[in-house]
Structure 1
Amino acid sequence: MSGDYQIRRFEPAAKNEPDYDAAVAWSRAVAFGFHEESKSETRIDRGLAMSRADHSVFTGVYQTSEPAAYSLSAEVPVATFATWRKTLNVGFGKLVDAHLISAVTVRTSHRRRGLLRQMMSEDLALAKDDGVAIAALTASEASIYGRFGFGVATSEQSITVDTSARFKLNHAPEGTVEVADPKILLDLAPQIFEQQHRHLPGSIDRQESYRQYVSGSVGGDGADGDGGPDAKIKAALHYASNGDVDGYVSYKFGGWETEPATMEIVDLVAANSAAYLELWQYLGAIDLVERVKWSGVSVDNPLTWALEDPRCVKGSDPRDMLWLRILDIQKALEERQFPADGTLVLKVRDALGLTPGTFSLDVREGHATVTATDAAPDLELDISVLSSIYLGAVHPASLVAAGRIQENQQGAAFLAAQMFAVERPAFCPTHF
């Protein structure tokens, strides 16, 4: 990045605070970068309030020289970046701090000048210095982030479920489902998600915007496009046998012009399998509806296996979801539990220089000890690849076959698969 630019970091200020104008200009730049319509001031203020609740930090790259005549003001950033901290479930109920990255844009007329590399390099180094071992993001373009050491850690798909007479679950009913005012999810959604979060490897704790959207408090067209309440949102709750609420579904009708009549899931969260299946039983029983769609589902969705006719579920558009970036190998590996004991020597490349080297990973009774070593490596790999196998997203043998891992010791890839496995398929239901 040349001297024609400077990086500024600031908090999402409220009105009458010093950085408010900068936060508004930053928000408009993000909307432009993602081809969104111009947002009203009301909508921007609502977004800034949610960002403050998450203690977000905004980063912008600004021109230091006079912009071209008639072009956007120098106060509008040419590149943007947002970060905040949440917990990541790394398996077996262990939650660790993760540095989340979002709102990454670079204005077309300022591309290929090293702006993203400078923002990313500085930010990841600051996060590591702050003691965070893992960074995470979701990628709008999959070709961008591998160069910065990120690797795909979870995947997702869209599903369409036929809820006509074919839909029948093979399960013993547990608990009950009742319709509720969706506004109750402002309070209940975070509580129920926390229960799910604690037993789902790959899960990222949710940002403030989630409870707002799933409750219908925001997300509607509103007056003048202000993104106010969404009157289409409906909600149902699952009650366990003891009366506790342990699951919810937020959904909306696709409209009578859609054939067959379709219900669209906005969010479905369940603390256990019984709640998950009972919520699906409810969705499958809604009158005048023959189809349910859901756009963010685990590739290993158990619904298919619970149905008498598994062909009721049609999956489509399988895609990467969560990308992880290990910032500190020793801390990241020692923070998680391992289901199989063993010793591996890993030689790790890191183009950003954050955590390269050769490390001995020694696991005894599920606990890891990681030390730098001069021993010959069993496996050689990039930090992006280590980040992908960290939660068992891909079998290391597949990465050997793809040329992404060099296996120097026969059987090392298989041992790595056993050691890095988690108790259930990793999945991240949190978009950010």
Structure 2
Amino acid sequence: MTSIDDAYEFRRFLPSGTDVNQETRGWLQADARGFHAKRFTETSLARVSSGLVTDGQTLAGTYARSRQEASLPAEYPVATFASFPKTLNVGGGRMLPAHLISSVTVRPTHRRRGLLRRMMTDNLAVAAAEGFAIAALTASEATIYRRFGFGPAAWTRDIEVSTDARFRLLTVPRGSCDQIEARALTDIGPRVFARFHAGQTGSVDRHVGIWHHVSGIADSDGQEDRSVRAAAHYDDEGVIDGYVSYRVTGDLRTVKLLDFVAADDNAALGLWHYLASIDLTETVTWKQGRLDEPLSWALENPRLLQVRAVEDWLWLRILDPIAALEARPYSSTGRLILRIVDSLGHASGVFQLTVTDAGATVTRDDDASPDLDLDVWVLGSLYLGGADPLSLAAGGQLVEHSPGAVCTLRALLAPDVPVYGITPF
């Protein structure tokens, strides 16, 4: 019987930068195919490869050891995978280094052969060995990653806001807005996002490709997007504290947001006030709205904001329970013993979490009697405080052995601000 290693070669390598070599070129073209994007041009290949180097990405590819007549070139992997380090705001402005996973594709003709499992388990083992306490990803499909220990930890809402003559805010925001060149966001954007990231639990730091996209330098196919427009919000001192980038659709009635970043609530309301003033348009759509969108409370008519969908956004995978649980802040004091089940073994064990006014300490004691049983994916969902332990317990995913333990966990994990993130990766 042919083994997976007989049929495929598994490689990990670093991208080559602007002087794109054959290995990086093939990997990028295969990744584009996996997400149904257009074939990269030479210019876009160099730009994207350079960004991968800047972000410290490591690429992984699975290569078929044999190919059929006229099939894709041998340097195109049949499966792609990438990972890189960024920070995750775990609450109270505390930043935890996170191992981000991206560009996961498997060619349709090579599915159900264990390729994703092999790449994922190998990658998580490397991340754990490198000392990462947590891994993160965003998922195009919701049924894939729980088996590898990932749980949904943050959500967004796809919203549609009517900005016709009925749009009125109950409070006029301070400061002002002005239109800017979209390309200016490559400079302005990271500065504003840094302020957002520092104050927002659940935020993940951004990679270079995002700034190319939201500024119109490159669309999803790597081509310049000259339809992108942008505006900035200025505080009373003239400092930019928010921005928005967008396209106006062909019928000139709808503004489709590409990015919306505000350092504080006042800047966010100021940007909405601007969006409602764009001539000829009647609707603004935003696929990454907050679950607790403050605009609902700021509108004279809150029914102008309609929710089209709620989507899971950030998925987390705990690799080191001690480091992860000690890294985040807590909203109360208490003590719990958690028994974590992890089929991959990284986080398995019984752990005592003790939270005092001085902070949290976690110790492992596999002989202790647990207050709660949970799978590692459940811990990922609970970690930031975005998921409610009571709901997970009601759904049979959190087993209570000590009366009141679920409520204790709920009090401990309550976030300082509602969990939210706007970094695609």
Would the TM-score normalized by the shorter structure come out above 0.5? yes
Is 1:156 aligned to residue 151 of structure 2?
no
Residue 143 of structure 2 corresponds to 143
Q: Between Structure 1 and Structure 2, how many residues are aligned?
A: 421
**Greater Cα offset, 230-239 or 84-93:** 230-239
- State whether structure 2 residue 341 is matched by structure 1 residue 349: yes
The residue that corresponds to 1:85 in the other structure is 85
Residue among 391, 404, 425 paired with 1:411:
404
4+ residue segments displaced more than 6 Å: none
Separation in 2, partners of 1:213, 1:68: 36
User: Which residue of 359, 362, 384 corresponds with 1:367?
Assistant: 359
Select between 86-95 and 279-288 the one with higher mean Cα deviation.
279-288
Question: 2:67 — aligned with what?
Answer: 67
**What one-letter code is carried by the residue in structure 2 that aligns with 1:388?**
S
Note if 1:118 corresponds to 2:118.
yes
Q: Is the 8 A contact 1:341 1:366 kept in 2?
A: no
* 1:391 matched residue in structure 2: 384
- Checking the alignment, whether the CA contact within 8 Å between 1:58 and 1:82 is kept in structure 2 is yes
Structure 2 residue 414 is matched with structure 1 residue 421? yes
The 2-side partners of 1:44 and 1:15 are apart by 8
Equivalence map 1:26-425=2 (5 Å): 26-64=27-65, 66-219=66-219, 227-255=222-250, 257=251, 261-365=253-357, 367-373=359-365, 374-425=367-418
Q: 1:204, CA displacement in angstroms?
A: 0.3
CA contact (8 A) 1:203 1:430 kept: yes
Q: Which amino acid aligns with 2:155?
A: S
Letter matched to residue 201 of structure 2: P
Q: TM-score, normalised by structure 1?
A: 0.94
Counterparts of 1:118 and 1:217, CA distance in 2: 35
Distance across 1 between alignment mates of 2:12 and 2:292: 40
The separation in 2 between residues aligned to 1:231 and 1:16, in whole angstroms, is 26
Find the counterpart in structure 2 of residue 23 from structure 1: 24
Change over 3 Å in CA distance of 1:79–1:307 after alignment to 2: same
Q: Shift of the alpha carbon at 1:15? A: 5.4
Change (3 A) 1:397 1:366: farther
The percentage of aligned residue pairs carrying the same residue is: 44
1:415 positional shift? 0.9
Contact 1:277 1:303 in 2 (8 A): yes
**What's the CA shift for 1:228?**
3.4
**C-alpha distance in 2, partners of 1:278/1:32?**
40
- Give SS of 2:5's match: coil
Indicate the larger mover: 179-188 or 315-324: 179-188
Note the alpha carbon deviations across 1:293-352, whole angstroms, 9 max, x for none.
Answer: 111111211111111110000011111110000110000001111111100100000011
The answer to whether the 8 Å contact 2:173/2:267 transfers is: no
Q: Aligned AA for 1:312?
A: L
**Separation of aligned partners in 1, 2:358 and 2:386:** 19
Deviation of 1:118 after TM superposition, in Å, equals 1.3
Is contact 1:338–1:366 with CA below 8 Å preserved after alignment? no
What is the CA distance between 1:25 and its match in structure 2? 0.6
Query: Quick one: distance in 2 between partners of 1:16 and 1:249?
Result: 33
Retained in 1: the 8 A contact 2:98–2:132? yes
User: What letter matches 1:243 in structure 2?
Assistant: G
Shift of 1:102: 0.6
Distance in 1, Cα, partners of 2:410 & 2:71: 53
Residue identity matched to 1:55: G
Separation (CA, whole Å) in 2 of partners of 1:72 and 1:212: 29
**Letter matched to residue 188 of structure 1:** I
Q: Deviations over 1:115-148 (max 9, x none)?
A: 1111111111111111111100001111110000
1:366 is displaced (CA, Å) by 5.8
Of the structure 1 ranges 269-278 and 29-38, higher mean CA displacement relative to structure 2 is found in 29-38
Counterpart-to-counterpart distance in 1, 2:61 and 2:276: 47
| CA deviation after TM superposition for structure 1 residue 387, in Å | 0.6
Distance in 1 separating the partners of 2:377 and 2:273: 40
- How big is the shift at 1:173? 2.5
| Matched residue type, 2:421 | C
For the 8 Å contact 1:337–1:366, the answer to whether it is kept is no
Shift of 1:236: 1.1
1:16 is displaced (CA, Å) by 4.7
SS in 1 for 2:179: strand
Question: Per the alignment, in what secondary structure is the counterpart of residue 153 of structure 1?
Answer: strand
Tell me, in whole angstroms, the C-alpha distance in 1 between the residues paired with 2:196 and 2:54. 22
CA contact (8 A) 1:25 1:76 kept: yes
For residue 375 of structure 1, give the secondary structure of its aligned residue in structure 2.
coil
Q: Give the whole-Å Cα distance in 1 for the aligned partners of 2:97 and 2:201.
A: 14
Cα distance in 2 for residues equivalent to 1:341 and 1:392:
15
Once residues 106 and 425 of structure 1 are traced to their aligned partners in structure 2, the CA distance between those partners, rounded to angstroms, is 35
Q: Secondary structure at the match of 1:2?
A: helix
Asked if the contact 1:175/1:241 (under 8 Å) is kept, the reply is: yes
Greater shift after overlay, 82-91 or 297-306?
Answer: 297-306
